[in-house]
Structure 1
Amino acid sequence: MSRTAARVFNSEFALISVVGEHQQWFRSCVGLGDMTGTDTNISFCAHTIALPDMDDLVVPDAQQDDRFRDNPLVTSWPFIRFYVGAPIVVAGQKIGSLCVLSATPRDGVEPAMLGQLNDLAGVASSLFALKEEARVRARTAAALLREEWRHALTLEAGKVGSWVWDIRSGEIACNEMFRRMYDLPETGPIQVAQVLDATHPGDRERVQAGIDASLNDGVDYEAEARVARTGRWLTMRGRVYQRDTEGKPLIMMGASTDITESKQSADQTRLLLRELNHRVKNTLAMIQSVARQTVRQNPDPHDFIEAFSGRLRTISAAHVLLADRDWAGVQLDEVIAAQLGENFRNDRQRAEVTGDDVMLPADHALGLGLILHELTTNAQRYGAWSSTGGVVSLTWTLKNEPARGLSLKWRERGGPLVASEQEHGLGARLIERSLSKVLDSEVKLEFRPEGVAADVWLPLPTESA
């Protein structure tokens, strides 16, 4: 553009400038070597864009013009004498000029040449406008791309598969998450029939009914279904967003979300509630049985309350332990600690405890807790722990023959001589019935002269450690 202007005016210098507050930049330049701009305060073009309207600036001889006589571009190289400039306008704003310069003064400029200069300045203005538009489009495209990535990451993080269904062609445009959800090909077009085929056979009828209702009745599409290959649960929501003039559906858009974890959580909650109801019934039956046995053994109200309260606290403590572990079981050490104290393994003067810790199922823990309560209460009142030198030996081993189970032995020594269970008040019948809920369990209780002895056998499931 500047080369064409130089040829029109047969001049050695021409340039396209953009003028800023403190600097003017040369966007196209002929004859000025490596110059890329000047300060605005010595710019000829700054005077051009300061003129009213769209006037051109013509300076026949800069040495004779008070505005430029002392300008360093006049007094030193390139020794400008002649200047003519036409403004460049973008979006109604003058931003610079297309100008021609010469080291030789001239008498004036022919109107036809000024017209050509303005035409060239108009082309330059259009090019600047196009470049600005391209820059705006690039920024917009970059912003849209960032927003698209942000949207995609949001859907990815939320495990949401988005889809747009062209109902006429049957083709579905979807994100990568949707493809992964349904185990669809990573690339290539997706047909709605492929999605239905990927749905669990037992759920396809429900999915199709929801789609039909949305297409025919205009209601929002909503369904829950499993994926055939993986068995994972998805919830799908959609809506017809476009119909033709006859009301026939054209485009449906929607999203699918993986709800497998929430489904599993709900199932687990229902399972725990059923288990809790079962346990509460068993516990109430156990409390009722303990109350009957206690009142037979302790007809006096004061004695009954004292004995029954201790047994009730034992049941309650076992329930707390089981509830804390979602009724998955309790460690044997925890059951023993509830009766003998947390330091039971180290207090060798009172109890000699030998055996590796083992996980007990819920019924085992409740029953064994009651047995140990009766044995420890009796030992404290009448048995080994009622004297200073008495010791209790508590040992257990895991056995695999004839079936896998826990063999636990309680032995007392060093206490008063034992006469009979009736005299000591030990709840023998309660001990023998405490494991009634545990099939194939067994309790043997003996009142030996040297001290009470109890042998407990508890069958354990094979997966227990």
Structure 2
Amino acid sequence: MDSEPDKDFDRLTRIVARLFGSEFALVTLLDSDRQWFRSCFGMDGLTETATEVSFCAHAIAALDRDHLLVPDMLEDERFKTNPFVIGPPHVRFYVGAPIVVRGQRLGTLCVMGTEPRPVIEPALIAQLVDMADMAATLFSLKDEARVRARVAAALIKEEWRHALTLEAGKVGSWVWDIRTGEISCNDTFRRMYGLPDIGLINFEEVLSAHDVRDRHIVEEGMSASFADGLDYNAEARIGASGRWLTMRGRVYQRDAQGKPLIMMGASLDITESKQSAEQTRLLLRELNHRVKNTLAMIQSVARQTIRHNPDPKQFIDAFSGRLRTISDAHVLLADRDWSGIQLYEVLGSQLGAHFISNPDRAEVRGDDVALPADHALGLGLILHELTTNAHRYGAWSNGEGVVSINWDVRGEPERGVSLHWRERGGPGVNTPTEAGLGVRLIERSLAKVLDSEVKLRFEPEGVAADIWIPLPA
């Protein structure tokens, strides 16, 4: 009820009006309160009436008859005071046949006129009954079509949702007809395998898209799934792009002999996770290497420190500072996945975080540069020994001394950092007769860095050190 006009029903009312030579013909639908005109011929502007004044309600109620005929409304007690009889459109004649859908009388196909019709040919009434049955068939067909359209719309919506979900998740879906070799798939699958955007795809094309080294993995996985009924599961590379895919599938249809007919599955790009796992393995190997080197360094520093400081307190004082330097460098390297440390950060670990904005008797000049891990560890130990010596005996042991640290980054012919440490204004310096542990650590801390060089001098005005650290191109 209340649906849009329908040409099929309008055609039906025109036919019966002409058949009976009457002014009005209706297809009506009734509920408990109102009568609605599914089609209305000859009553312009009228779409419904109340059920209590409906002629058709009586036609529906007459369960023992297939039609209701009223030759003259004014002579029928049921209708002679009806507002549509005594008022416009002044109906005098009525004949209606029930429209029965699935055993339910829903309304009528009826004909009305403004003149009494005392005689109606039975053949005309029989045609009206047949056409009412046609109207019932129309209602059934249109209802079925409406349901089908709803289902189709819901399926299309679900297919779009499914397709968009796969697209958003970058999942390539596929269905393989094993009998013909043809594969139906979505656009994501085609892009993954570098296949044409349109046209049929067969299994051989998909297999050939894999890296030659991995094709046996795909074939063996398929064979195992066919033979054992297990889910197909494989990881392989695509030859053209080198990207890694993980593929899962299952045989969903077999013939009477158990031979596979249809296989369905999905493919997912796992290149990023593969690269991440490889990066993690590399980092772990690097970490193991660094830890071994660091432990060896700590062991060597501890052995040399205790040799020069046999007193436990002196040993703890000397060794803890060196150990802290190594630890700080490791924390910085770990934060950067062992990719290296900036030179400013190495200086900051010894001079304080605000050595540039708020220098404490330190003059620092030079452009920041990234140092590899071994370079940063070695330079950190050198700076620790130099700053410790400056605080104890050198420029920072009084209130006047200054340390100048400057460097430049060279590009040709060999790329590297040339750093210079100069002390002035502190107590006078004498060249020691025997090299102590600090001197040895300064001279040997960059031993792992090939082509590095450290020159330490004890000049009268203060300690001086010239450090050369090669950098990778």
TM-score (norm 2): 0.92
CA distance in 1 between counterparts of 2:102 and 2:229 reads 48
Are 2:379 and 1:368 aligned? yes
Are 2:43 and 1:13 aligned? no
CA distance in 1 between counterparts of 2:294 and 2:309 reads 21
Q: Which residue of 2 aligns with 1:336?
A: 347
CA distance in 2 between counterparts of 1:382 and 1:425 reads 14
Deviations 1:230-284 (A, max 9, x none): 1111111222222222222221211111111111111111111111111111111
Are 2:127 and 1:103 aligned? no
Q: Secondary structure at the match of 2:140?
A: helix
Q: Which residue of 2 aligns with 1:305?
A: 316
Deviations 1:419-458 (A, max 9, x none): 2457996701011111111111111111112111111111
Are 2:157 and 1:151 aligned? no
CA distance in 1 between counterparts of 2:57 and 2:272 reads 69
Q: Which residue of 2 aligns with 1:28?
A: 39
Are 2:172 and 1:161 aligned? yes
Deviation of the 1:373 alpha carbon: 1.1
Residue of 269, 276, 294 corresponding to 2:305: 294
What is the count of residue pairs matched by the alignment? 462
Q: Which residue of 1 aligns with 2:3?
A: none
Alpha-carbon distance change, 187 to 267 in structure 1, aligned in 2, over 3 angstroms: same
Deviation of the 1:106 alpha carbon: 3.5
Q: Which residue of 2 aligns with 1:398?
A: 409
Q: Which residue of 2 aligns with 1:182?
A: 193
Any residues of structure 2 matched to 1:267-286 within 5 Å, and which? 267-286=278-297
Deviation of the 1:331 alpha carbon: 1.0
Q: 8 Å contact 1:378–1:424 — kept in the other structure?
A: no
Q: Which residue of 1 aligns with 2:270?
A: 259
Alpha-carbon distance change, 371 to 117 in structure 1, aligned in 2, over 3 angstroms: same
Alpha-carbon distance change, 405 to 40 in structure 1, aligned in 2, over 3 angstroms: farther
CA distance in 2 between counterparts of 1:288 and 1:54 reads 113
Q: Secondary structure at the match of 1:375?
A: helix
Residue of 405, 425, 428 corresponding to 2:439: 428
Q: Secondary structure at the match of 1:274?
A: helix
Q: Give structure 1 stretches of 5+ with no counterpart.
A: none
Are 2:460 and 1:449 aligned? yes
CA distance in 2 between counterparts of 1:418 and 1:221 reads 78
Q: Secondary structure at the match of 1:343?
A: coil
Alpha-carbon distance change, 187 to 222 in structure 1, aligned in 2, over 3 angstroms: same
Greater mean alpha carbon deviation, residues 292-301 or residues 260-269: 292-301
Q: Which residue of 2 aligns with 1:217?
A: 228
Q: Which residue of 2 aligns with 1:125?
A: 136
Q: 8 Å contact 2:305–2:437 — kept in the other structure?
A: no
Identical pairs, percent: 68
Deviation of the 1:292 alpha carbon: 1.6
CA distance in 2 between counterparts of 1:92 and 1:303 reads 108
Deviation of the 1:145 alpha carbon: 0.5
Q: Secondary structure at the match of 2:332?
A: helix
Q: 8 Å contact 1:16–1:27 — kept in the other structure?
A: yes
Any residues of structure 2 matched to 1:397-416 within 5 Å, and which? 397-416=408-427
Q: Secondary structure at the match of 1:427?
A: helix
Deviations 1:22-45 (A, max 9, x none): 654433332223444445554333
Q: 8 Å contact 2:423–2:464 — kept in the other structure?
A: yes
Q: 8 Å contact 2:308–2:437 — kept in the other structure?
A: no
2:296 partner letter: A
Q: Secondary structure at the match of 2:289?
A: helix
Deviation of the 1:85 alpha carbon: 2.0
Are 2:106 and 1:90 aligned? no
Alpha-carbon distance change, 438 to 67 in structure 1, aligned in 2, over 3 angstroms: farther
Alpha-carbon distance change, 9 to 409 in structure 1, aligned in 2, over 3 angstroms: same
Q: 8 Å contact 1:378–1:425 — kept in the other structure?
A: no
Deviations 1:324-357 (A, max 9, x none): 1111111111111111111101234511110111
Alpha-carbon distance change, 180 to 22 in structure 1, aligned in 2, over 3 angstroms: farther
Q: 8 Å contact 2:66–2:129 — kept in the other structure?
A: no
Q: Give structure 2 stretches of 5+ with no counterpart.
A: 1-11
Residue of 376, 388, 399 corresponding to 1:388: 399
Are 2:222 and 1:204 aligned? no
Alpha-carbon distance change, 376 to 39 in structure 1, aligned in 2, over 3 angstroms: farther
TM-score (norm 1): 0.93
Q: 8 Å contact 1:220–1:237 — kept in the other structure?
A: yes
